Structure 1
């Protein structure tokens, strides 16, 4: 029988993911169809985009190390949300959950747009908009159905697709390098901007390829031994993707002419065709990209539900997101609601924007960088305010340096997104304010102090890090009395398990 949680949340989530599945989730969420479409999106900047890619890779590794440390400190589902809430309070936690949730379903729209480009290697070669939209909707709802069938099925599908997607990427990152023609690179800075401006703009697009590095921390409650496995999956998964990304993108830039690359909807397919001649190699790459896209959509659909699930259990997201269905404890409402929103923005983008992929990518990057920024700040807060006396000076300097790099990288990514993207991103972020007010209206006035609840099931399996700074117990906080008649308990379920 399933365990149950308080507040009518239903059965507790099952810790069904081991280290291989958690690593596959990280790699599968990072490597989707974005990398397969990225060379075309970066082509307008020229080879200088590769410099931006290196800078983004260093920033992504700093973020991965930061999330690894944070996961040891708080090995509970929610990732960026729970880190911001525990460090800066519930409103900061809500903003992070809201922003990340937007990233997840908007990112799915971007992934599926790139995925359609590879499907159309075989069908709808004329790129008729109506058929493209239909293909995109099929691509969104297949992973949703897999997630609704249970976490074990989703995890197994993630492992299989991760293995399959690596084949063309490893091939291009190794054999493809032997076929590079320097004449294909074109002008080093083809954007017409200053070098710094071009690097910043290209980096904002390139960062999309690393979104998902925090995936294991978001679903930590579904990972066995999260205090140990989540940091390892995060760091090792990001490192593996970094090597494949850099070498694979370099190979595509060097095997497809600059002019053709900018107009390509399937650049890895074009690169394979140029290497071998004919179309068979390109078709094989396209099949792998299709499988890769489904794997990424499967992982991100899980994240779409897990982040609001964690926040809803604390009364900081609508209660429907906290309800688990079936014996496997699936957050069905979050899966369905997020897929519906991704479907709507996909249809809207196909009918309104010419450069669909880039527009959605920039919005997804901006809403993702906000939780990254808060997570880096939370790490600095714990290192410099709450835990500096318990760390050896050398380790303190190292961890602070990494967190500062992650924070600077996040600010830089916001700056490179462009004014229009920042405008739209800020607008959708602030749309969360009335939602927060609506949630708080249920609680009425803050009354008596209530003891925090027992640790969440996912926190009980934590493996303490003996070197992590000892954190003081959470303060008794005033929480609202639950009202009757709403079917929801809005008392904060505060984590008591800290390492």
Structure 2
């Protein structure tokens, strides 16, 4: 257990001895979620015909971060991920703050995903777009997944695995069929003379990065993988290549088949309807719903375990450290995360909550990039560690880009993160006194 309270428990050994290709599957499942189904329209609204290049550039940017995580992961065999790297590089307080903000990221992510689910199903059930119907979808999805996670981690893990196929098959059909219907003038020539508004590029970058977010979760359970110092870096690098190609292909088909893409709230379903009819549109809607549910389930599976571990280590109310006597899950921590995510979900939109979750996530990216520089200076290329091409160049570039993205966030989001860090500092400074 981490002395800074930032490393979650291992998940009852479910992932023990997971091999290289299974780890790759887990990494893809962690990344491919709501973003690929819902963000193509927003990306096109902000970047126009340059959106495909924006997707590729975002993939390259995330690739730098992925290489940093691959390098950091090759130093350790225990669990912890970003929190572990921050603690080992900068000390217990930094590790605590990263673990704390990671949990807050999970809350914001769960809130944004529930809104994304309502947006996705609104195409075939318009009532989900607003009012009571939207509240029913948002609250119903969060409460259902919370109940599943309270009943048991095995049930939650099985649900995640079952949803993988449901999220990838519609995307594969969308690309394989749609590529033959792409109007290249529509895709790249409609507004080619208009350069993207530089005022929007920061927001666009954060939203595109949201579509790639989740890769950092893979190393959290590294202690339960087979040969994690080799297999985690392999899975991370292979994942970013595959996912970048998939996302670029999806964006290309969407903007090459759907006039008025920027105004669509269900871009892939609407695009699919233009070349595959309402049947394919329904399949894409179902795929979006399954994808969002899968990612949300993973968020509600892992997130409360950070909160539970903080409480076990003496940070926060003792009640959060309790384990359900029958189901052996941190039921109260799960319920607290659900309640906070629900309150946040009902107060914001998918895009705004996605932006908030990315701003908090950037703190983990910044500390990991900087941590790689510290760990490499301290340990060099230790035997068995993954050799990072270019030495300090890649982590330095990743650190600079992450800082630039953080500074591009809105004042409201930066203030919210500052308040969160302040609260975390108070919790760390005044741990619970056991009697």
What is the TM-score with the length of structure 1 in the denominator? 0.77
CA-CA distance at 1:245 after TM superposition:
1.0
CA-CA distance at 1:221 after TM superposition:
4.3
Deviates more, 1:401-410 or 1:131-140: 401-410
Contact conserved, 2:322 with 2:332, CA < 8 A, in 1?
yes
Which residue in 1 is equivalent to 2:158?
156
Contact conserved, 1:81 with 1:307, CA < 8 A, in 2?
no
Which residue in 2 is equivalent to 1:368?
361
Which residue in 1 is equivalent to 2:191?
187
Aligned length: 423
The whole-number CA distance in structure 1 between the counterparts of 2:265 and 2:397 is: 34
Alignment of 1:225-240 (within 5 A): 225-240=227-242
| TM-superposition CA deviations, 1:408-437 (whole Å, max 9, x none) | 231232133233432333233333222223
Do residues 215 (structure 1) and 207 (structure 2) align? no
Question: Which runs of no fewer than 5 residues in structure 1 stay unpaired?
Answer: 1-6, 350-355, 443-482, 486-499
Contact conserved, 1:256 with 1:271, CA < 8 A, in 2?
yes
SS at match of 1:304: helix
Q: Which has the larger radius of gyration?
A: 1
Structure with the larger RCO, 1 or 2 (CA within 8 Å, 6+ apart)? 2
SS at match of 1:398: coil
Which residue in 1 is equivalent to 2:336?
337
Over 3 Å counting, the alpha-carbon distance change for 1:157 and 1:235 in structure 2 is: farther
Alignment of 1:187-206 (within 5 A): 187-188=191-192, 193-194=197-198, 197-206=199-208
Do residues 16 (structure 1) and 14 (structure 2) align? yes
What is the TM-score with the length of structure 2 in the denominator? 0.87
The whole-number CA distance in structure 1 between the counterparts of 2:314 and 2:217 is: 22
Over 3 Å counting, the alpha-carbon distance change for 1:22 and 1:336 in structure 2 is: farther
Do residues 91 (structure 1) and 68 (structure 2) align? no
Contact conserved, 2:315 with 2:427, CA < 8 A, in 1?
no
Over 3 Å counting, the alpha-carbon distance change for 1:434 and 1:288 in structure 2 is: same
CA-CA distance at 1:263 after TM superposition:
2.2
| TM-superposition CA deviations, 1:73-104 (whole Å, max 9, x none) | 22333311121112111111121112111111
Over 3 Å counting, the alpha-carbon distance change for 1:137 and 1:226 in structure 2 is: farther
Over 3 Å counting, the alpha-carbon distance change for 1:319 and 1:406 in structure 2 is: farther
| TM-superposition CA deviations, 1:463-496 (whole Å, max 9, x none) | xxxxxxxxxxxxxxxxxxxx4x2xxxxxxxxxxx
| TM-superposition CA deviations, 1:197-251 (whole Å, max 9, x none) | 4433311110101110011212334545544443343333333222211111121
The whole-number CA distance in structure 2 between the counterparts of 1:150 and 1:233 is: 27
Alignment of 1:406-485 (within 5 A): 406-439=398-431, 442=433, 483=434, 485=435
What root-mean-square deviation, in Å, do the aligned CA atoms of Structure 1 and Structure 2 show? 2.9
Contact conserved, 1:13 with 1:329, CA < 8 A, in 2?
no
Over 3 Å counting, the alpha-carbon distance change for 1:76 and 1:325 in structure 2 is: farther
Which residue in 2 is equivalent to 1:452?
none
The whole-number CA distance in structure 2 between the counterparts of 1:237 and 1:147 is: 27
Which residue in 2 is equivalent to 1:38?
39
Alignment of 1:203-352 (within 5 A): 203-223=205-225, 225-257=227-259, 260-276=260-276, 278-315=277-314, 319-325=318-324, 329-349=328-348
SS at match of 1:42: helix
Do residues 145 (structure 1) and 147 (structure 2) align? yes
The whole-number CA distance in structure 2 between the counterparts of 1:325 and 1:226 is: 31
